[in-house]
Amino acid sequence: MNRTAVIIGASSGIGFALAHDLSRCGYTLGIVARRVELLDELAKNLATRAVIRYLDVTEPEAAMAQLRSLILELGSVDLFVISSGTGHENPGLEWELEKRTIETNAIGFAAIAIVAAEHLASRGAGTLVGISSIAAIRGNGDAPAYGATKAFVSHYLAALRHKFAKLRSKVIILDVKPGFVDTAMAKGDGLFWVAAPEKASMQILRAIDRRSTHVYVTRRWRLVAWVLRLLPNALWNRL
């Protein structure tokens, strides 16, 4: 089958690894990011056709228009992956860092998710993947906006899943919650549980193939999530 995927945030990290893996699986790709020069290099090393687009999710109206234009060029899209995101440790609550995180991870995410959901609704099938985080589970004083916006991502995906369920649609909404992944944004350098982007990509692809709605990357983070949810607030606040 000729399948098509669009990856928002394909220039690095998980999005970059997914572009390679989806291409090896035969997908025609739309690869999207701010750093177009990195997309050019990526496209040269893919096994299938890739259409490149500049897109900055912090300019939501323009980003929505650019994504709709890309969908028209591709004809139809089976899979959307929203992998763009940012995060900062910000214990001092510097406003510019919080604002940038909110603009990217919440407002930008919602804008892209709306366009993807509209298209999948018109097809009556397909998959939308959003990259959330284990940080979505509990608020962390060292990175307030990051955890809060990732919780927004997970709740927004849950709302879309509910919407499509009520429509009895075949559209799948997949919430990916990574722990530490070895990317430029990762804060877990040197930790035992840091996963390579390539390993994260393979586990996400497996979840897509299984039509899953939730996946932890790597799977051991499911146990961490369980502990975080059960941990009393008094104990969490002392950590």
Catalytic residue positions, numbered: 146
Tokens of 123: 């097809």
- The residue among 169, 4, 133 whose CA lies nearest residue 81 is 4
Helix axes 109-123, 144-166, angle to 10 degrees: 20
Long-range contacts of 227-234 (CB under 8 A, 24+ apart): 228/134, 228/137, 228/138, 229/137, 229/138, 231/138
Task: Say how far apart CA 90 and CA 92 lie, in whole Å.
Answer: 5
> Could you tell me the two tokens for 102?
């909110």
Distance in angstroms (rounded) separating the CA atoms of residues 171 and 164: 7
Report the length, in residues, of the chain.
Answer: 239
Give dist(CA 210, CA 14) in Å, integer: 19
Residues 6+ apart with CB under 8 A from 3: 25, 26, 27, 28, 78, 79
Show the DSSP H helices in the chain as ranges: 13-24, 36-44, 60-74, 95-102, 109-123, 144-166, 197-209, 221-230, 233-236
State how far the Cα of 141 lies from the Cα of 69, in Å rounded to an integer.
40
